Amino acid sequence: MKNVLIAIVLSIIFLTGCKDRQNDVPKEIIYVGTFTERNSQGLYVFEFVRDSLQFKLLQQIPELESPSFLEIHPSHRYLYVVSRHPAGEKKEWGSVQSFVIDSLTGKLIPVNEKPSYGKGPCHISIDQSGKFVFVSNYNEGSLVVYGVNHDGSLTDSLQTIQHLGRSLNENRQEGPHVHSALISPDNRFLYVADLGIDKIMIYSFDARSGYLAPASSPYTMVQPGAGPRHFNFHPAKNVLYLAEELSSTTSVFLRDTSSGALTEIQRITSIPDNCDTTNTNADIHTDATGKFLYVSNRGHNSLAVYAINPESGLLTLAGYQSTYGDHPRNFLVDDSDSLLFVANRFTDNINLFKLNDNTGMPEFTGVTLTVPGAVCLKMLKL
C-alpha cells in the first residue's frame, strides 16, 4: 500500500510539473558576438524579457578574440563560434569553438576548439541534419567543412575548398574572399558567396559524408564589382536573396531544386538615389512568413525594407529605417515577426525595433543595449 501511495504522489508531482512547464513562457536567450575593440568582453549571453523589453546579462566569455559570427545547432543544444582566437599552437589561424548550451539557463559551457585554417574566419553555418559545420575564411578565400560529434564537439576538418580568381575592385577584389555559406533547405546544395570573385559557388552536398563537389551548375556570376556578401532563402519559395556589399544592391534569384542552379530575376538598390555617403551592405533576412525582406546599410546606417510579392518573390522597396547607430552589421528578426534587433558596431549598441504588421517597417522602441563592438546576434527560446 505504501508503494502505491508513493507512486500516486510521484505521478501527481510529475503531472503538475508538466502542466506548469507547458504554461511557462519560453525563456529567450540572445547570444552576441563582437569584435575585440573598445573593451569588448568577447562573447555575451543575455536573457531577453519580452514583456518589459529588458535584457539581463547572464555570461561573458572574454578570452575569445573577436568572436564575430555565431550559429546555433538545429537541436538547440550547441553553439558554434568563429573567432580570431588562435587554436592551440596554430597561431597563424583563427579558430572554431563549440559550446554546450545549458538547457535551463542558456549559459555556455566550452567543449572544444579547432583551427579555422584561415586568418579571418567570418561566417559559420550548419547543415540541416546538424552533422556538419561550414566555416568561411574571408582572407584566404577558402571554405572548410567539419563534422559534429555526438557530444557537440567538432572533428578536425574533413575538407577544405580553395577558391581562385579576382574581380574589378582592386582594393577589395584582388583575390577570392569567401564571405558566407548556407545549405539549401532540402540539404542537397551548399551555396557560397565569394565577394572577391563576384560569384555564388554551388556545391552538391553528400549528407552522409559531408563531402562537397561542384554542382552541375557550379556557380552563378553576379554583376562585376558587386561583391556578394550574405544571402537568405525565402521560407516558402525557391527564391534566394543576396546582399551585394560593394554596389549596395540586392539581387533576387530563382533556385532550381533539381540542379541547384540560380537564375537572376531582379536587382534593386538598397540605398536612396540621393545617398551621398559611402555605403556597404552587410546582412540580409526575410521575416518568418516571407512577406518582407530587410538589408542593413553601413554608411547610410539604415535598414532597407522590401515587400515580397507572394507569387513571384520579387521585391518592392517599402522604405528605409535609421538604425540609430553607426555601422549596422548584423541584425535579427525574431520568429514571431514582432521584433527586430540591430547590432551597430561603431556606436557599441544593440537597438530594438517593433515591426509593423501591415507595412513591415521597423519602429524604434527607444530600448538600447550597450555592447562594445557588437556584430552578430542569435536568439534561442528555451
According to the model, what pLDDT value does residue 86 have? 85
pLDDT (mean) for 365-378: 98
According to the model, what pLDDT value does residue 90 have? 64
Q: What is the pLDDT of residues 130-150, one digit of tens each?
A: 999 999 999 999 999 999 999
User: What single letter denotes the amino acid at residue 241?
Assistant: Y
Sheet of 108-115, strand order: 69-72, 78-83, 95-101, 108-115
Report how far residue 32's alpha carbon sits from residue 48's, in angstroms, rounded to the nearest whole number: 12
Percent of the chain with pLDDT over 90: 90
pLDDT reading at 167 higher than 50? yes
143 C-beta neighbours (distance < 10 Å), count: 27
pLDDT (mean) for 230-241: 98
Q: What is the pTM of this model?
A: 0.93
pLDDT reading at 105 higher than 60? yes
Phi then psi for residue 319, to 5 deg, are 150, -170
pLDDT reading at 89 higher than 80? no
According to the model, what pLDDT value does residue 128 have? 98
* Cell reading at 83: 573567432
Q: What is the pLDDT of residues 303-326, one digit of tens each?
A: 999 999 999 999 999 999 999 999
3-state secondary structure the chain: CHHHHHHHHHHHHHHHHHHHHHHCCCCEEEEEEECCCCCCCEEEEEEEECCCCEEEEEEEECCCCCCCEEEECCCCCEEEEEECCCECCECCCCEEEEEEECCCCCCEEEEEEEECCCCCEEEEEECCCCCEEEEEECCCCEEEEEEECCCCCEEEEEEEEECCCCCCCCCCCCCCCEEEEEECCCCCEEEEEECCCCEEEEEEECCCCCCEEEEEEEEEECCCCCCEEEEEECCCCCEEEEEECCCCEEEEEEECCCCCCEEEEEEEECCCCCCCCCCEEEEEEECCCCCEEEEEEECCCEEEEEEECCCCCCEEEEEEEECCCCCEEEEEECCCCCEEEEEECCCCEEEEEEECCCCCCEEEEEEEEECCCEEEEEEEEC
Report how far residue 355's alpha carbon sits from residue 339's, in angstroms, rounded to the nearest whole number: 6
Report how far residue 281's alpha carbon sits from residue 182's, in angstroms, rounded to the nearest whole number: 18
According to the model, what pLDDT value does residue 177 have? 98
pLDDT reading at 373 higher than 70? yes
Of 211, 118, 102, nearest to 152 (Cα)?
102
Report how far residue 62's alpha carbon sits from residue 252's, in angstroms, rounded to the nearest whole number: 39
Average pLDDT, the chain: 93
Of 106, 110, 108, 109, nearest to 29 (Cα)?
106
C-beta separation of 147 from 135 below 8 A:
no
Q: What is the pLDDT of residues 71-84, one digit of tens each?
A: 999 999 999 999 99
User: What single letter denotes the amino acid at residue 72?
Assistant: I
Task: Read off the pLDDT band of 6 (50, 70, 90).
Answer: very low
Task: Read off the pLDDT band of 91 (50, 70, 90).
Answer: confident
pLDDT reading at 349 higher than 90? yes
According to the model, what pLDDT value does residue 17 have? 42
C-beta separation of 309 from 298 below 8 A:
no
Percent of the chain with pLDDT over 70: 93
